Chains A and B, each alone.
Chain A
Amino acid sequence: DAKTTQPNSMESNEEEPVHLPCNHSTISGTDYIHWYRQLPSQGPEYVIHGLTSNVNNRMASLAIAEDRKSSTLILHRATLRDAAVYYCIRASSTGNQFYFGTGTSLTVIP
């Protein structure tokens, strides 16, 4: 989705928090924001999603800007297993469509 942009790559040290940003400035007021991650040669894996409020689960936290034009995925303590491509997704509220952003390749340094 050309309207959902992310940095191409980011690095983090192991055991440190990671903040992965996403810009979705043209998102509809009722579209959900999803995050998935993908390891090489595997299908994407669900991480978290939200609409307006910040969300937490066992994997990560999602911080959504008040104007909903951007969001940030937070991994509280990066591990080597968190190295993957992370996708921010605009999930259409008018149907069942999911539109992937450009993706961020996360490298975790031991």
Chain B
Amino acid sequence: DAMVIQNPRYQVTQFGKPVTLSCSQTLNHNVMYWYQQKSSQAPKLLFHYYDKDFNNEADTPDNFQSRRPNTSFCFLDIRSPGLGDAAMYLCATSRPGGTFYEQYFGPGTRLTVT
């Protein structure tokens, strides 16, 4: 029944060591999102894909990259994690149609940077 799956649920990386978080979906949705949620804060949109069309938020640091090799999978790459990148990373999907439709969120990956 899982619809948006994120692996791993917990990830520990070292300062400056590249890390990749993954997201997959069984909903066949065209749009996939990545959010960053720091402790006691609201989720913040990093970027999203509409099919293969990548849309970056203006204030997303260059340290964050993303790949979407096919409809089902999307990856978040953090090239050189800093202590400030420790957060929950949430993946979400939605049908096309702008924001008329709701988003479906995964359970998140909690990233720790040591």
Contact = CB atoms under 8 A, between A and B. Distances in A.
Do A and B associate with each other? yes
Given A96-B31, A96-B55, A43 B107 contact: yes
Contacts of B48: 96-97
A49 to B, nearest CB: 6
Contact of B94 (A36, A41, A96, A101): A96
Contacts of A102: 42
Nearest to B104: A46
A46 B27 CA distance: 16
A64 B44 CA distance: 24
Interface of A (DSSP majority class): loop
A92 B105 CA distance: 18
Nearest to B99: A91
B76 interface: no
B58 to A, nearest CB: 11
B108 A43 contact: yes
B45 A44 contact: no
Given A43-B90, A44-B43, A98 B99 contact: yes
Contacts of A1: 42
Interface string A85-98: 00100011101111
6 contacts: A36-B105, A41-B107, A42-B108, A46-B104, A91-B99, A96-B98
Given A34-B99, A43-B90, 12 more contacts: A32-B98, A36-B103, A36-B105, A43-B92, A43-B107, A44-B103, A91-B98, A96-B33, A96-B94, A97-B57, A98-B33, A100-B44
Interface of B: 4, 31, 33, 42-45, 48, 50, 55, 57, 90, 92, 94, 96, 98-100, 102-108
Interface of A: 1, 31-32, 34, 36, 41-46, 49, 87, 91-93, 95-103
